[in-house]
Amino acid sequence: MWSTVFPYLLSGISVGGQYALIAIGYTMVYGILRLINFAHGDVFMVAGILMVYMAASGVPLWLCLPLVLVLTAVIGFVIERVAYKPLRAAPRMSVMISAIGVSYTLQNLVLYITGGLNQIYPTIPWISDNVTILGASTKMVTIITPILTLVLVVALVWLINHTKIGMAMRAVSRDFETSQLMGIKINRVISTTFVIGTFLAGVASVLYFTNYTTVIQTSGAMPGLKAFVAAVFGGIGSIPGAVVGAFIIGIAENLIKGLDIILFKAGLIPGPMGLATFSDAFTFALLIIILAVKPTGLFGEKITDKV
């Protein structure tokens, strides 16, 4: 039984870590701008494409990695300045539509550049190596992901709690207008948030695509949506919430992928039920349940409207 479940659990933890890194970007941006950044998943995909093209053009891998991360962060910064900042005073729906427009644009740009073909992700030594852990064979990246995720999250939480910009972020997410009145440079705070969020999405892309090996223009859509669900599940605006939510979703999704086999081996079903079809749908079912039962998520705070 354990040997059946364990590989799924392992890849669940790994994917969970990758979702967590993406989810932080969603949750931080939502916390400050109250915006679902629909383009965030696509930035994650673009980071993957950047790596592919940079490695193919002969840049050594050790240089590619930091370059990709920096470039991704720059892209995040530019998107905010171009597509969201001009709409600061606009209705919320307009900003959301702009985010969807950016998502559409990034996907079409990549489609144009790649010709819509699957791009093979470069093999990064060591983290692509195969290892055997507790009898299950997997890539090194599977083990590194959760560890790296936790290290980054701890660093981020420290940053938010102990630096000046971190405190400014917390202030802005608590009360946008008042923070502005108190002399906090809102635009700097927002830009920093986007830079951090996209940087982490860049890290996630390295881990994720090392595991899945190919990138295409739609590669970011599903992980992006799932990471967003993770952020909502954990309580939007809460970084620990996003991380916990992401791990739960990653694990659940992978267990469902193996549910047919697991249930069959346990003697609970007579034959395959095709339940793997629902591995993506499950995430959304979870979303709807949490929204219906506890819209503020696991760690979220209640926001009341003023009349």
Partner 1 sequence: MSNSLQKKKVDSATIISAVIVLALYALVFVAEQIIPPTSMLFTVLKKGATYALVAVSMNLLNGFTGIFSLGQAGFMLVGAYVYGIFTIPIVSRMDVYQYYNGGLVQFTLPVFIAMLLSGLAAALLALLIGLPVLRLKSDYLAIATLGFAEIIRALFQWDKLGPITNGSNMLRLFPTFNDFNIRAADGHVTVYLSTLVPLLIAGVCIGVIILLINSTFGRALRAIKDDEIAAEAMGIRLASHKRLAFCISSFFAGVGGAMLAMYQTTVQAKSFTTAMTYEILLIVVIGGIGSVTGSCLSSFLFVACSEWWLRFLDQKQVIGDFEVPLLRNGFRLVVFSIIIMIVVLFFRRGIMGTNELPDVIRKLQGKGRSSKKGGQGK
Binding site residues, partner 1, CB under 8 A: 34-36, 82-83, 86-87, 90-94, 96-98, 100-105, 107-109, 111-113, 115-116, 218, 221, 225, 228-229, 232, 273-274, 277-278, 280-281, 283-285, 287-288, 291-292, 295, 307
Q: Measured from the CB of residue 171, what is the shortest distance to partner 1 in angstroms?
A: 22
* 67 vs 96, beta carbon nearer partner 1: 96
When the beta carbons of 148 and 229 are compared against partner 1, the nearer one is 229
Q: How far is the CB of 126 from partner 1 (least distance, A)?
A: 35
CA distances to 39, 92, 185, 270, 303 from 88, rounded to whole Å, are 17, 9, 14, 57, 21
- Using the minimum distance from each CB to partner 1, give the nearer residue, 138 or 279: 279
Least gap, CB of 307 to partner 1 (angstroms): 6
Rounded distance, CA 127 to CA 4, Å? Answer: 24
- With respect to partner 1, which residue has the nearer C-beta, 168 or 286? 286
CA–CA distance, 31 with 28 (Å, rounded to integer)? 5
165 close to 196: Cβ distance less than 8 angstroms: no
Structure tokens at 57: 């053009």
Ramachandran bin of 226, using left for φ above 0, alpha for ψ from -120 to 50, beta for the remaining angles: alpha
| Closest separation in Å from C-beta 97 to partner 1 | 6
194 vs 199, which CB is nearer to partner 1? 194
